[in-house]
Chain A
Amino acid sequence: MSIISRGFHGRRRPDSDRLPPGQYLVDDFPVLSAGPTPQVPLDRWEFAIDTEAEQTHRWSWEEFQALPMETPTADIHCVTKWSKLDTTWEGVSLDVLFEDVETAAEYALIHSYGGYTTNLPLEDLLDGKAWLVHRFDGEDLEPRHGGPARLIVPHLYFWKSAKWVRGIRLLNEDWPGFWETAGYHNYGDPWREQRYEGD
């Protein structure tokens, strides 16, 4: 039973069945990260998938650009309570990146330039659920939003959509990432309001 705050009426917003509980809509694009924005020159950029068998699949910027691109449109939900509907991106489906990756691992640890990490079950990256993107809204992705390239995993809270992504390590055992070790939920489903540890 929640407690009524006397005199609070709230600002009724148009009901949307696309808005998870506790979220509100924004039109701008807030920025949240734990430290300064890393600057990653394209000639030094690379993306790598490391399997549990220590095999590495690597892409340079040119190789990444040559992959088949998709233009997903997605709703994104940040744990700090804003949601943004119909964001448009351009990038490569993780299914493409995983085509030649042989693995029996169940977990993925994403790591970024700048040291950020976040974990999720591998199946949450596959079957059209995640993209490595380099463009937002028709423009190259700004560094503050994760450029040159970031991950987009729209069905989980946005901290799982790592910015400045540099690679994915596949693991047989789950390994909590940056926010997951700092009190945030290990999985982060916005529809179940999995914000903090224990939710």
Chain B
Amino acid sequence: MPPRLAWRAAELVEIAGESATARTLCFRVPGWPGHLPGQHVDVRLTADDGYTAQRSYSLAGPADGDLVELTVENFPDGEVSPYLTEVIEVGDQVEVRGPVGGWFVWRPESKAPVLLVAGGSGIVPLMAMIRARRQAGSRVPFRLIYSLRDQDRRFYAEELRRPDPGLDVTYLYTRSAPAGASRPPGRLLLDDLAEGGWPANFEPDCYVCGPTGFVEAAADLLVALGHAPERIRTERFGPTGGS
């Protein structure tokens, strides 16, 4: 029997605003074993009367010693995300266990071109892949298609603006597009994936992450464009979207 994945104390060491409704939290987790981009942690919160709640959050960056970075979007009527985006302060503690998930990961030694398709906070594990690529000095070409409501919801805006050779970024706005955007606001369509992605015969590894409905739609469109289902990995951030 392998040892149980331990719950570890995680102390918040840094907070950064990420968008109008999200923030990035950096925790110090003594004993953290490291992780691959795309993996996630389980976060456990305990109230003073012993009540607990757990949720999963993707790791936003590649392994960095005992530091673990998460970006959390606020769901106003949620139980956990309002605490992480509004209440918790530097010095406070939560528990984390992980890393979890060995399928939705990108390995820096991989040579295949990569297509990343993000819906909303689904950008988080994909950003970890982009950062890991840069850190490893990988020359593998990446394309990111990032669908979001409006500019205020954009995560990692500064960093994605900086030139990163071999990384192409396309933004798709669903509610309101900024002036000069090349496309009117609307949901992800076949053409968006055909233009911002790779031809299927390049055999890219595709990673799709976001709310369920978005992931369903994007993965179906990729299959329609001829991408092999085995090359399309998905991560669905529940809980809504399916019925």
Contact = CB atoms under 8 A, between A and B. Distances in A.
B233 A2 contact: no
A3 B46 CA distance: 7
A26 B22 CA distance: 23
Contact of B239 (A2, A11, A26, A115): A26
Interface string A23-48: 01010111111111110000000000
A197 B5 contact: yes
Interface magnitude class on chain A: 35 or more
Given A35-B219, A38-B229, 7 more contacts: A5-B47, A7-B92, A28-B242, A29-B242, A32-B238, A34-B233, A34-B234
12 contacts: A3-B95, A5-B88, A5-B92, A8-B88, A10-B52, A28-B242, A28-B243, A31-B238, A31-B241, A144-B216, A182-B101, A196-B5
Interface string B53-94: 111100000000000000000000001000100011100111
Contacts of A30: 212, 236, 238-242
Contacts of A6: 88, 92-93
Interface in A121-169: 144-145
Interface string B188-215: 0000000000000000000000001000
B242 A36 contact: no
B161 interface: no
Interface in B22-67: 42, 44-48, 50-56
B242 A4 contact: no
A183 B232 contact: no
A196 B100 contact: yes
Contact of A10 (B2, B53, B56, B230): B53
Nearest to A194: B4
A81 B234 contact: no
B243 A183 contact: no
B15 to A, nearest CB: 14
A114 B87 contact: no
A198 interface: yes
A6 to B, nearest CB: 5
A65 interface: no
Contact of B236 (A5, A10, A33, A114): A33
B89 to A, nearest CB: 8
A9 B232 CA distance: 39
A115 B9 CA distance: 38
B81 to A, nearest CB: 12
A199 interface: yes
A87 interface: no
Contacts of A24: 53, 79
Contact of B4 (A11, A33, A198): A198
Contacts of A2: 7, 44, 46, 50, 52, 95
B44 A197 contact: no
Contacts of A197: 2, 5
A182 B101 CA distance: 6
A191 to B, nearest CB: 16
Given A31-B212, A81-B56, A7 B100 contact: no
B88 A10 contact: no
B47 A8 contact: yes
A34 B5 CA distance: 22
B101 A183 contact: yes
